[in-house]
């Protein structure tokens, strides 16, 4: 069976967006999509995704602000939200839901079949899923910048195991399995 993987870039000090909600601090940094924990192989392994509403809204107001920009994900996705959505990007295969997290992940898992489920963020959703025991792995591309504040990568306590580490361009690449050290 596939894994549920929280895959994200973050700053050295654990933020996924700066205090203004921007990802501009990633601009100009080198990251090879075919390198360690790169997007190409990850995307190929992903069969569905789960996304928080803030992340969806950020996509629409940022990278997809121009309505002619194509939706970037081929997989079906579930967006957790309690509020109505004004615009669904063309080509997006999205389910907007306020169902319990376990049900949402189960639906995404079923859609992914043997492939992985991508937890696309943000940190609040990833934390809720981690607390519910619904995150198998965390893949971090650590940007060479301290932000000093912003949106935390995972505002929850969780034991992890480092299973892969190295470098991709300007970034450190760290892969963790969620759970205690083997005794």
Task: Work out whether 167 is an interface residue with a second copy (CB under 8 A).
Answer: yes
26 binds a second copy (CB under 8 A): no
Taking CB under 8 A as the rule, does residue 153 contact a second copy? yes
Is 133 a binder of a second copy (CB under 8 A)? no
The answer to whether the beta carbons of residues 119 and 153 sit under 8 Å apart is no
Q: Shortest Cβ distance from residue 3 to a second copy (Å)?
A: 17
| Residue 147 CA: distances (Å) to CA of 17, 18, 93, 121, 152 | 9, 6, 34, 18, 11
Token pair of 3 as six digits: 């894994």
43 or 165: CB nearest a second copy: 165
Closest distance to a second copy from the beta carbon of 37 (Å): 12
Q: Does 78 bind a second copy (CB under 8 A)?
A: no
By CB under 8 A, tell whether 89 contacts a second copy: no
Give the binding range for a second copy (CB under 8 A) out of 5-13, 53-61, 79-87, 99-107: 5-13
Please write down the long-range contacts of 25-33, taking CB distance under 8 Å and 24 or more positions apart: 25/143, 25/145, 25/147, 26/143, 29/143, 29/144, 29/145, 29/169, 29/170, 29/171, 30/169, 30/170, 30/171, 31/141, 31/168, 31/169, 31/170, 31/171, 32/168, 32/169
Whose Cβ is closer to a second copy: residue 21's or residue 144's?
Answer: 144
Q: Which residue has the tokens 């992985």?
A: 116
**Is residue 145 close enough to count as binding a second copy by CB under 8 A?**
yes
User: Rule CB under 8 A: is residue 106 a binding residue for a second copy?
Assistant: no
Tell me: does residue 91 bind a second copy (CB under 8 A).
no
CA neighbor of 6 nearest in space, from 33, 35, 40, 42: 42
Which residues face 97 on adjacent strands? Answer: 80
Query: Should residue 132 be labelled a site residue for a second copy when binding is judged by CB under 8 A?
Result: no
The residues of the shown chain that bind a second copy, judged by CB under 8 A, are 11-15, 28-29, 127, 130, 138, 140, 142, 144-149, 152-162, 165-167, 170-172, 174, 176, 181
């Amino acid at each position: 069976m596939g894994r549920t993987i929280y895959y994200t870039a973050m700053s050295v000090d654990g933020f996924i967006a700066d205090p203004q909600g921007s990802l501009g601090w990633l601009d100009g940094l080198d990251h090879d999509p075919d390198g360690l924990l790169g997007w190409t192989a990850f995307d190929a392994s992903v069969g569905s995704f789960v996304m928080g509403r803030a992340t969806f809204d950020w996509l629409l107001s940022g990278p997809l602000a121009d309505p002619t920009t194509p939706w970037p994900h081929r997989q079906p996705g579930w967006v957790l939200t309690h509020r109505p959505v004004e615009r669904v990007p063309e080509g997006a295969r999205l389910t907007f839901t306020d169902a319990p997290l376990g049900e949402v992940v189960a639906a995404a898992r079923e859609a992914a079949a043997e492939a992985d489920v991508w937890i696309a963020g943000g940190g609040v959703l990833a934390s809720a899923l981690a607390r519910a025991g619904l995150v198998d792995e965390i893949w971090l591309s650590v940007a060479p910048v301290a932000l000093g504040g912003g949106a935390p990568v995972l505002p929850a306590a969780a034991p992890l195991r480092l299973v892969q580490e190295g470098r991709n361009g300007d970034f450190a690449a760290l892969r963790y399995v969620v759970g205690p050290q083997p005794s």
